[in-house]
Amino acid sequence: MINLTRGVPAVESYALDEFVAAFKSAIAEDGNRAMSYVASPGYPPLIEWIAAEEKVRTDQVLIGNSSLEFLHFISMVETEPGERVFLESPSYDRANLLMKRRGLETVGIPLRTDGVDLDVLESEIKKGRPKFFYLIPDFQNPMGTTTSLEKRRAIAELARKYDFRVLEDVPYRQLRYSGEDLPTIASMAPERVIKMSSYSKTLAPGLRIGVLIGDTDFLNRVKVYAGNTYIGPVSPTQALTYQFLKLGFFEPNLKKIHALYGPRLKKTLEILDAELPNAVYPKPEGGFFVGVTLPEGNDMETLLPRAKEAGLNLTDGRGFYLNPEDGRRFLRIPFCGLNETELEKAFGVLLPLLSR
């Protein structure tokens, strides 16, 4: 079976030798603390490291067991069932799921190639201010799009004007293979925006380290909920990550994974350009995904089982839409997990199954 399903880093991206060295240092230097309960907000040396990198105070950093769980905690702490939240449409399928699970009124703001439709955003705000707007401005999951500078400024401005919070999820931000970084929305409205990130895509998802950066009162509310749930986040992987950073392994590793993923993205776009001229997709400059709206005549309902039969596992595009019907022709290509030859093979199986 070929898997073109989830946004999981390629196993060949894992810096195993460096992890061994970092974990040895973590235990040798601070083993007793690393192996004990380390209460929320997290392992102090890692908190200090992140605060210095982000140029914030240490009480503006909260570490947890994955950013996904933070999304769950935030929904529990900051919202009551029936309240309104906004997400991009399409958005990360698990974010959609968690917001629905909390019984929230979920509003999808249509995503264009340069970020959400601002007219729809403002008109939805006027109908009812959201508790928060969750978005992924860098190399969005599932589309691969990046929100433009103008739209980032406009979203920061709207958050101020209408007094709502923005949850800026940036796990792919450091995975840029071409073009220039844009400033975060958090940098434009630090009092309104909570930045959420993770080491899952840059180091390894098994670490389960998520990070929140922003307003101390907001973080404190999440910290209390987290602490009451699990005392503190898993500490050995935090100590390991801290040593990985301190020993200078992060930047060389980032370069290595750029060199791994950049050509995979290029190959994917080459195949799409050549083979699917009637499909609609953006040209991402980084991340793990290209989101493809297939031409009329395709339908996930029939495509998924046919692909499976042919030896290819795909993710159901309907999960990325709050209204699943909108995703019937939506296919997310997670190019991260397959090398160029494997991508050619995967498309070799997929293309004959499509109406083109």
- Residues near ligand PLP, by CB under 6 A: 7, 66-68, 92, 136, 141, 169, 171, 198, 200, 205, 210
Nearest to 43 by CA among 247, 211, 265: 211
Give the count of beta carbons closer than 10 Å to the beta carbon of residue 255: 10
Closer of 45 and 171 to ligand PLP (Cβ): 171
Segment (H or E) for 289: strand 289-293
Peptide bond just before 190 cis, omega within 30 deg:
no
Least Å from the CB of residue 92 to ligand PLP: 4
Give the nearer residue to ligand PLP in terms of CB position, either 174 or 200.
Answer: 200
- Cβ nearer to ligand PLP, comparing 68 with 343: 68
Strands, DSSP E only, in 97-208? Answer: 105-112, 115-116, 132-135, 165-169, 193-198
Nearer to ligand PLP, 92 or 218 (CB): 92
CA–CA gap between residue 279 and residue 81 (Å, rounded): 38
Closest distance between ligand PLP and the C-beta of residue 237, in Å?
12
320 closest CA partner among 288, 291, 353 = 291
The smaller minimum CB distance to ligand PLP, of residues 66 and 146, is found at: 66
Q: For residues 79 and 315, which CB has a smaller minimum distance to ligand PLP in the complex?
A: 315
User: In terms of CB distance, is 63 or 276 closer to ligand PLP?
Assistant: 63
Nearer to ligand PLP, 108 or 354 (CB): 108
Cβ at position 61, least distance to ligand PLP in Å: 15
Question: Pseudo-torsion of CA 149, 152, 157, 160, nearest 10°?
Answer: -150
Residue 42: both structure tokens together: 């997290």
**Prior bond of 137 cis (ω within 30°):** no
| Nearest distance, CB of residue 300 and ligand PLP, angstroms | 19
Strand 330-334 and strand 289-293: pairing? Answer: antiparallel
**Smallest distance from the beta carbon of 173 to ligand PLP, in angstroms?**
10
Based on CB atoms, which residue is closest to ligand PLP, 66 or 241? 66
Residue 262: CB minimum distance to ligand PLP, A = 19
Distance CA 57, CA 77 (A): 23
Give the three-class secondary structure for 100. helix
The two tokens of residue 13 are 């991206």
Minimum Å distance from CB 274 to ligand PLP? 28
**Length of the chain as a residue count:** 356
Residue 282 preceded by cis peptide, ω within 30: no
CA distance 200 to 351: 31
Are the C-beta atoms of 117 and 109 separated by less than 8 Å? yes
* Least gap, CB of 207 to ligand PLP (angstroms): 8
Least gap, CB of 283 to ligand PLP (angstroms):
19
* Integer angstrom CA distances of residue 351 from 236, 301, 314, 327: 45, 16, 13, 19
